[in-house]
């Protein structure tokens, strides 16, 4: 097997400690906690009302308003991190061979808020009111796919255990899957019981 060297040239992240490498590192070294009261939704009825929410994240600084509306938050995080990694590497004005570039993002799952909202729409309003962006909004490959198709070569995503060592050809395309649920089917599907 021919293994060519891989070089990590830039970093990007979205974190409760900050969403730039410098703010994250400064907070980490200072021993600060990113945990605080939940603010993105009303947690008053929950037994736990604190957690780690992204700080310093503005999707409109890397996405158009239209794209920000269409992309789920976890995909916005991926685009933010990819754009910042690209800038951190100093590649903004570099013409690279896009066939030898790729995006590698590890994510277990995303967009549970959208899945929950669209499930509610399905039950309350019927299948015709389910967003056409549901499936593209929740599939984990989109975290690598959106930044890859807009900034570099092909996406590579790891669906589970992203910390394990993985050897993949740089331009491997993610697989496709088919959903067999009323939310991913045509409006002619009967309502769930």
**Per residue in 141-173, pLDDT tens?**
888 888 877 654 444 444 433 333 333 333 333
DSSP E strands in the chain: the ranges are 35-37, 50-52, 102-106, 154-158
Residue with tokens 């604190």: 50
Residue 189 pLDDT level (bands cut at 50, 70, 90): very low
Tell me the pLDDT tens digit for each residue of 23-67. 999 999 999 999 999 998 899 999 999 999 988 889 998 888 988
Phi, psi of 155, rounded to the nearest 5 degrees: -80, 145
Within 13 Å, how many C-alpha atoms sit on residue 69's CB side? Answer: 4
pLDDT of residue 174: 36
Give yes or no for residue 181 having a pLDDT over 70: no
Percentage of the chain with pLDDT > 70? 74
Q: What is the pLDDT of residue 101?
A: 67
Task: Check: pTM over 0.75? Answer yes or no.
Answer: no
Spatial separation of the C-alpha atoms in residues 14 and 53, rounded to whole Å: 9
pLDDT value of residue 122: 94
Residue-wise pLDDT for 101-131, tens only, equals 667 777 777 888 899 999 999 999 999 999 9
Between 155 and 16, whose confidence is greater?
Answer: 16
Mean pLDDT of 84-97: 80
Topology of domain 21-45+52-184 in CATH is: Peroxisomal Thiolase; Chain A, domain 1 (3.40.47)
Among 117, 121, 139, 143, residue whose Cα is nearest residue 130: 121
* Domain residue ranges in the chain: 21-45+52-184
Task: Give the pLDDT score at 48.
Answer: 93
- What local confidence, expressed as pLDDT, does residue 90 receive? 83
| Three-state SS annotation for 149-184 | HHHCCEEEEECCCCCCCCCCCCCCCCCCCCCCCHHH
């Amino acid at each position: 097997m021919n293994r060519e060297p891989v070089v990590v040239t830039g970093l990007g992240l979205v974190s409760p400690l900050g969403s730039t490498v410098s703010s994250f590192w400064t907070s980490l070294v200072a021993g600060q906690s990113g945990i605080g009261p939940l603010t993105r939704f009303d947690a008053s009825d929950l037994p736990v009302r604190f957690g780690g929410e992204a700080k310093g994240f503005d999707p409109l600084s890397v996405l158009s308003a239209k794209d920000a509306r269409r992309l789920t938050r976890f995909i916005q995080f991926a685009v933010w991190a990819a754009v910042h990694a690209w800038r951190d590497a100093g590649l903004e004005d570099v013409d690279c061979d896009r066939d030898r570039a790729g995006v590698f993002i590890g994510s277990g799952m995303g967009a549970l808020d959208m899945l929950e909202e669209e499930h509610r729409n399905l039950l309350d309003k019927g299948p015709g009111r389910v967003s056409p962006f549901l499936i593209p909004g929740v599939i984990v490959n989109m975290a690598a796919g959106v930044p890859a198709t807009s900034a570099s070569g092909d996406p590579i995503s790891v669906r589970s255990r992203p910390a394990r060592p993985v050897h993949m050809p740089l331009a491997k395309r993610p697989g496709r899957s088919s959903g067999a649920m009323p939310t991913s089917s045509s409006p002619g599907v009967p309502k769930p019981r």
